[in-house]
């Protein structure tokens, strides 16, 4: 900056000196063109001074600082996070404490135990009563085809609008007939009778498999259906896994397959009985509530609010 000022001062002195010399030349008879050249030099020196001042003022002018955006509000409190997680879990799995779902879960435990052992020991039982290998293996094909038919027919029938209120009843009927089939299995000693057993047992097995999601949806609602089915199939898997080893142990202890089939049939009937007894108890409560409605309408309303689908 100081060098620029010194340069401009020297330039001014030089120009003034030229002017004085030009005046002397004019007095001595200099030409007009020399005078114009001197004036242009003076104008250019003034323009240089103006540019230097402008640049200097621009350098000294403070630049505006960039305003950073406010930091995002992030909740780093671990207790609040765990509280939010607990609330979400309560909303998603609140159906676990519903009385209807608890009763249905107990029914599924007995059901799962009874359904796997007859399928596992059907062919060995047929071989033990004298059925040849080819016909004994054919029983499983009959069982599979019949299960597909039962799955489709029960799914279509219970999906009709006029029959939707009988879904739970259809589920209990399917379980009851499966139990009866297992109860009569030790009395069957020919291929024709065992084929009839495979048809009936497979049909009602496919029926109850088709009705599990339907019944679960009626109890927990469509919003919690995915979580409800996950819990139901988890409960279904545990007895389903342990029942064949228990059935094999009974075969080893008793020497035949009667105890295994009878235990499976009893579990089917008990699963259906849990649902039927619950339905009968609640219907009795509803009838008592309707008879006592004129005496205590508020108490009747509170009891009716607790009634479920079962």
> Cα–Cα distance between 56 and 71 in angstroms, integer?
38
Pick the more confident residue, 22 or 122.
122
Are 254 and 197 members of one domain?
yes
> Could you tell me the two tokens for 113?
């135990």
Query: What is the tally of structural domains in the chain?
Result: 2
Q: What pLDDT is recorded for position 224? A: 81
> Cα–Cα distance between 46 and 12 in angstroms, integer?
9
Q: Is the confidence at residue 267, as pLDDT, over 90?
A: yes
Q: What pLDDT is recorded for position 154? A: 86
The C-alpha angle 191, 192, 193, rounded to 5 degrees, equals: 95
Q: What pLDDT is recorded for position 287? A: 75
Are 48 and 104 members of one domain?
no
Q: What pLDDT is recorded for position 98? A: 80
Answer for the pair 228, 219: CB distance below 8 angstroms, yes or no.
yes
> Cα–Cα distance between 68 and 194 in angstroms, integer?
82
Are 210 and 265 members of one domain?
yes
How many helices (H) and strands (E) the chain has is answered by 10, 0
Pick the more confident residue, 295 or 224.
224
Identify whether 237 is part of a domain.
yes
Q: What pLDDT is recorded for position 194? A: 94
> Cα–Cα distance between 117 and 181 in angstroms, integer?
13
Stretch among 29-33, 113-117, 157-161, 189-193 having the lowest mean pLDDT: 29-33
Q: What pLDDT is recorded for position 22? A: 52
Q: What pLDDT is recorded for position 43? A: 64
Q: What pLDDT is recorded for position 157? A: 83
Considering only CA atoms, which of 146, 208, 209, 140 is closest in space to residue 177? Answer: 208
Are 220 and 143 members of one domain?
yes
Mean pLDDT confidence for 135-139: 93
Residues 6+ apart with CB under 8 A from 99: 306, 308
Mean pLDDT (the chain) is 76
Are 174 and 241 members of one domain?
yes
Are 169 and 51 members of one domain?
no
Are 123 and 264 members of one domain?
yes
Mean pLDDT confidence for 30-51: 58
Secondary structure (DSSP) of 182-207: HHHGGG--SHHHHHHHHHHHHHHHHH
pLDDT band at 116 (very low <50, low <70, confident <90, very high): confident
Q: Which domain holds residue 208?
A: 97-274
Identify whether 227 is part of a domain.
yes
Identify whether 75 is part of a domain.
no
Answer for the pair 154, 170: CB distance below 8 angstroms, yes or no.
yes
Place of tokens 């399917």: 174
Are 268 and 211 members of one domain?
yes
Burial status of residue 108 (CB atoms within 10 A of its CB: 0-12, 13-18, 19 or more):
buried
Place of tokens 């009893």: 266
Q: Is the confidence at residue 92, as pLDDT, over 50?
A: yes
> Could you tell me the two tokens for 81?
């996070």
CATH classification at residue 128: 1.20.1250.20
> Cα–Cα distance between 186 and 256 in angstroms, integer?
9
Identify whether 74 is part of a domain.
no
Q: Give this prediction's pTM.
A: 0.64
Q: Is the confidence at residue 129, as pLDDT, over 80?
A: yes
Residues 6+ apart with CB under 8 A from 41: 15, 18
* 98 DSSP assignment: -
Identify whether 77 is part of a domain.
no
Are 149 and 243 members of one domain?
yes
> Cα–Cα distance between 137 and 24 in angstroms, integer?
136
Mean pLDDT confidence for 121-138: 93
Identify whether 250 is part of a domain.
yes
Question: Phi and psi dihedrals of 256, rounded to 5?
Answer: -145, -175
> Could you tell me the two tokens for 39?
């004036």
Q: What pLDDT is recorded for position 54? A: 47
Residues 6+ apart with CB under 8 A from 284: none
CA distance readout (Å), 23 to 13, 14, 16, 20, 36 = 15, 14, 11, 5, 12
Are 114 and 51 members of one domain?
no
Identify whether 268 is part of a domain.
yes
Are 136 and 11 members of one domain?
no
Are 156 and 222 members of one domain?
yes
Considering only CA atoms, which of 73, 264, 302, 77 is closest in space to residue 179? Answer: 264
pLDDT band at 247 (very low <50, low <70, confident <90, very high): very high
Q: What pLDDT is recorded for position 262? A: 94
Identify whether 117 is part of a domain.
yes
Tell me which range, 157-161, 196-200, 273-277, 302-306, is most confidently predicted by mean pLDDT.
196-200
Pick the more confident residue, 146 or 57.
146
**What does the pLDDT look like over 71-82, one tens digit per residue?**
444 455 555 555
Q: What pLDDT is recorded for position 53? A: 46
CA 235 to chain centre: 19
Q: Is the confidence at residue 26, as pLDDT, over 50?
A: no
Q: Is the confidence at residue 208, as pLDDT, over 70?
A: yes
């Amino acid at each position: 900056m100081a060098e620029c000022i010194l340069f401009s001062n020297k330039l001014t002195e030089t120009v003034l000196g030229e002017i004085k010399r030009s005046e002397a030349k004019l007095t001595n008879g200099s030409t007009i063109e020399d005078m114009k050249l001197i004036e242009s030099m003076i104008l250019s020196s003034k323009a240089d001074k103006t540019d230097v001042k402008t640049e200097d003022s621009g350098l000294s002018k403070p630049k505006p600082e960039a305003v950073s955006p406010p930091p995002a509000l992030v909740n780093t409190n671990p207790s609040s996070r765990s509280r939010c997680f607990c609330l979400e879990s309560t909303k998603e799995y609140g159906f676990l404490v519903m009385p209807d779902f608890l009763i249905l879960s107990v029914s599924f435990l007995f059901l799962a135990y009874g359904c796997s052992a007859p399928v596992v020991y059907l062919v060995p039982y047929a071989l033990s009563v004298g059925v040849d290998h080819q016909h004994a293996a054919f029983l499983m094909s009959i069982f599979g085809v019949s299960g597909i038919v039962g799955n489709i027919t029960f799914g279509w029938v219970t999906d009709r609008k006029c029959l939707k209120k009988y879904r739970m009843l259809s589920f209990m009927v399917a379980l009851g007939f499966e139990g009866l089939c297992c109860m009569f299995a030790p009395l069957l000693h020919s291929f024709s009778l065992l084929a009839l057993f495979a048809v009936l047992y497979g049909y009602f097995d496919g029926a109850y498999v088709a009705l599990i999601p339907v019944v679960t949806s009626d109890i927990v609602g469509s919003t919690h259906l995915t979580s409800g089915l996950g819990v139901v199939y988890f409960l279904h898997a545990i007895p389903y896994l342990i029942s064949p080893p228990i059935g094999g142990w009974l075969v080893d202890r008793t020497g035949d397959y009667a105890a295994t089939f009878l235990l499976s049939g009893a579990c089917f009937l008990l699963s259906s009985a849990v649902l039927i007894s619950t339905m009968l108890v609640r219907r009795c409560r509803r009838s008592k509530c309707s008879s006592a409605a004129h005496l205590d309408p508020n108490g009747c309303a509170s009891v009716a609010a607790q009634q479920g689908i079962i």
